[in-house]
Amino acid sequence: MIAAASFAPAVDVAGSLPYHQLHGYIPMPQQSHHLFGAGFLFVGVLLIVEALAGHVWHRNRLRTLIWPATIMVLGAGMLAVVALDPKDKLIHFTIGLIMLAAGWVEYRHRQREIPRRTADLWIVPALIAGGMEIGVFHFHGSFTSSGTVHILMGLTAALMAPVRVYQTRLLTSMPRHAFMGVMVIVLAFELLALGH
C-alpha cells in the first residue's frame, strides 16, 4: 500500500500525457496486448533455442543478453502504456517496474555478478506478484472473454514461479530450461488471443 502510494505521483505524471491528441497514432489497448504477445512469442521460442543450443548460444554475448534485455524493453513498453492508456495506470506501472527489475536481476546473473539463487529471490516473488496483478486486479470481476484470458494470463505468470524454482534445482537440465520457454509461449498466445 505504501509502495503503491509512493508511485502515485509518477503514475499521475505519466498518465497526464496527451492521450486524446495522440489517439490516432498509438496502438489501442487491445493492439498493444498483441504487440506484447508478439514480443513474448519471440523470446519464448528463443529460450527453447537457448536450451537446445547450450554453450553454442552463448558464444555471442548479444544472444546471452537478449532474454533479460527483451524483458526490460517490454517493461519499458509497459511504462509507455501507462503514459498512453488512461485505464489501469497503477497496475500497468507496477507490472512495468517488476519486469524492468526482473530483467535487470537476470542480466546481472548472466553477467556472473550474482548467483542464480540470489536472482531467484527477486524473480520468483516478482512472477507471483505479476500473476496476482494480472489475474486478480486486472480481471475486474468480469467473466467476459477478456476477463477470462486475464485470469489465464495471471495463472500462467504465477505458474512460472514454481517452474523457475524447478529449473534452478537442476540448472543443467535442458527440458526444464525449455519448459520456461513453453510457459512464455503460452503467455504470448494468451496475449495474442485477447479480443478474439
Partner 1 sequence: MSTRARAIAIGMFGPFVQGVGLLWVLANALLDSGRGLSLRYVSFDPAHLVLFVGILLSVVCLPIALEVAAAAPEDVELELFEPEAGSQPAPTPADEVGGAWEGVTE
Q: Which residues bind partner 1 (CB under 8 A)?
A: 27-28, 31, 34-35, 37-38, 41-42, 45-46, 48-49, 51-59, 63-64, 109-118, 120-121, 165, 168-169, 171-174, 177, 192-193, 196
Which residue's CB is nearer to partner 1, number 4 or number 175? 175
d(CA 95, CA 48): 24
User: Least separation, in Å, of the C-beta of 19 and partner 1?
Assistant: 17
User: Least separation, in Å, of the C-beta of 53 and partner 1?
Assistant: 5
d(CA 144, CA 35): 21
Which residue's CB is nearer to partner 1, number 30 or number 142? 30
User: Least separation, in Å, of the C-beta of 154 and partner 1?
Assistant: 20
User: Least separation, in Å, of the C-beta of 146 and partner 1?
Assistant: 14
Which residue's CB is nearer to partner 1, number 8 or number 121? 121
Q: Could you count the other beta carbons within 10 Å of the beta carbon of residue 115?
A: 11
Give every CB contact of residue 75 below 8 A, 6+ residues apart in sequence: 95, 96, 97, 98, 99, 100, 101, 102, 103
d(CA 128, CA 120): 12
d(CA 173, CA 60): 21
Which residue's CB is nearer to partner 1, number 12 or number 162? 162
